[in-house]
């Protein structure tokens, strides 16, 4: 820097920078700005000392802890505990309630159970059963009142606890044979019994001789699980084959494949993964979706 250049108009020194004849004045920074600047520097030093701030040098784990020992992880854990404590009253009541009637009889508890069930359903069940519990091929729709393993509150709750073909020691279990893959029936016989099953659920236009042959195969092979009339057996998870509700699909090709391969639907067991009150809330929610089968139909009918 040689000579200082003074601007004629203002009498202020310039920085010496010039753009297209416009020069920059070297005014001091405003005082308020400087104060904010210095205060921020002091504040940041205080902050580094008090709070977790600096990452550890390369090769070391973690970060500086700060003298007040603040930790978001600890804060979240404390918030969760507080939340759990604020809910524990209603959760405790759910745990104690046991039956659907007892939960339904208490409007506050019932609303709580439905809300908690709805939210847990979104977290744990919707991936397989769909956000609206509408189901997909192989994953049952839980809105209808058609149940594989029984539709009372206790049946549903038990299904949730032990799962279906799951790793729980008391899991609900049954296994339909793979009639084609294991060579129990020929392709021809499988087509005959397929037509018979489709006819049971109301489809028509089949060859009478094939239907008769299919009926004989059904009585010999399938009736033990699906019932002589094909209406199913919830104690074995064997679906009703006479209605229009299909778990795996109703096209002739799909039904043939189902019989050929033998279906093997797996639903996880939730005991140990979810706590008791949450399972009760889920059972309440699912039971209310389906419309709800009474444990004792005669009593249910009288109550309605």
Distance (Å, whole) CA 261 – CA 300: 39
Q: How far is CA 77 from CA 71, 83, 282, in A?
A: 10, 10, 25
Tell me whether residue 14 or residue 293 sits nearer to ligand HEC (CB atom): 293
Tell me whether residue 45 or residue 220 sits nearer to ligand HEC (CB atom): 220
Among 114, 128, 210, 295, binds ligand HEC (CB under 6 A): 128
Using rule CB under 6 A, residue 166 touches ligand HEC: no
Q: How many residues bind ligand HEC (CB under 6 A)?
A: 47
Do 128 and 121 contact (CB within 8 A), yes or no? no
Segment near ligand HEC (CB under 6 A); pick from 53-61, 88-96, 122-130, 295-303: 122-130
Nearest residue to ligand HEC, scored by beta-carbon proximity: 265
Among 103, 125, 269, 289, binds ligand HEC (CB under 6 A): 125
- Cβ neighbours around 259 below 10 Å, total: 25
Using rule CB under 6 A, residue 286 touches ligand HEC: yes
Using rule CB under 6 A, residue 159 touches ligand HEC: yes
Distance (Å, whole) CA 146 – CA 232: 11
Tell me whether residue 14 or residue 294 sits nearer to ligand HEC (CB atom): 294
Among 71, 84, 224, 251, binds ligand HEC (CB under 6 A): 224
Using rule CB under 6 A, residue 247 touches ligand HEC: yes
Q: How far is CA 212 from CA 179, 199, 256, 288, in A?
A: 19, 11, 17, 41
Tell me whether residue 3 or residue 188 sits nearer to ligand HEC (CB atom): 188
Largest CA distance in the chain: 116
Torsion of CA 24, 28, 33, 34, to 10 degrees: 130
Using rule CB under 6 A, residue 225 touches ligand HEC: yes
- The candidate with the shortest Cα–Cα distance to 197, out of 238, 148, 236, 140, is 238
Using rule CB under 6 A, residue 180 touches ligand HEC: no
Q: What's the distance, Cα to Cα, between the start and end of the chain in Å?
A: 99
Segment near ligand HEC (CB under 6 A); pick from 3-11, 40-48, 72-80, 126-134: 126-134
Using rule CB under 6 A, residue 94 touches ligand HEC: no
- Cβ neighbours around 230 below 10 Å, total: 20
**Per-residue mark of binding to ligand HEC, 138-157 (x: CB under 6 A):** xxx-x----xxx------x-
Using rule CB under 6 A, residue 295 touches ligand HEC: no
Distance (Å, whole) CA 159 – CA 157: 5
Do 163 and 172 contact (CB within 8 A), yes or no? yes
In the range 187-206, which residues lie near ligand HEC by CB under 6 A?
A: 193, 197
Distance (Å, whole) CA 179 – CA 189: 10
Positions that interact with ligand HEC (CB under 6 A): 121, 124-125, 127-129, 138-140, 142, 147-149, 156, 159-160, 164, 174, 176, 179, 193, 197, 221-222, 224-226, 236-239, 241, 246-248, 255, 258-259, 263-268, 270, 282, 286
């Amino acid at each position: 820097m040689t000579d200082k250049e003074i601007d004629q108009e203002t009498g202020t020194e310039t920085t010496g920078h010039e753009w297209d004849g416009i020069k920059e004045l070297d005014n001091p920074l405003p005082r308020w700005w400087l104060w904010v600047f210095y205060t921020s520097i002091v504040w940041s030093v205080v902050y580094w000392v008090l709070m977790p701030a600096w990452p550890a040098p390369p090769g070391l784990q973690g970060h500086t802890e700060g003298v007040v020992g603040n930790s978001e992880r600890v804060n979240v854990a404390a918030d969760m505990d507080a939340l759990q404590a604020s809910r524990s009253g209603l959760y405790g009541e759910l745990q104690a309630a046991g039956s659907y009637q007892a939960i339904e009889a208490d409007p506050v508890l019932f609303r709580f159970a439905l809300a908690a069930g709805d939210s847990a359903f979104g977290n744990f069940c919707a991936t397989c059963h769909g956000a609206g519990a509408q189901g997909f091929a192989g994953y049952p729709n839980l809105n209808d009142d058609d149940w594989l393993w029984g539709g009372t509150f206790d049946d549903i709750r038990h299904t949730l606890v032990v799962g279906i073909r799951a790793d729980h020691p008391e899991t609900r279990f049954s296994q339909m044979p793979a009639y084609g893959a294991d060579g129990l029936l020929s392709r021809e016989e499988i087509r005959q019994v397929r037509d018979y099953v489709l006819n049971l659920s109301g489809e028509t236009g089949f060859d009478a001789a094939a239907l008769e042959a299919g009926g004989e195969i059904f009585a010999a092979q399938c009736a033990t699980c699906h019932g002589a009339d094909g209406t199913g057996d919830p104690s074995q998870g064997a679906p009703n084959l006479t209605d229009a509700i299909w778990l795996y699909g109703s096209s002739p090709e799909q039904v043939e494949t189902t019989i050929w391969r033998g279906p093997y639907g797996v639903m996880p067991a939730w005991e140990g993964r979810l706590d008791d009150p949450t399972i009760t809330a889920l059972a309440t929610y699912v039971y209310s979706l389906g419309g709800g089968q009474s444990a004792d139909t005669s009593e249910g009918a009288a109550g309605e």
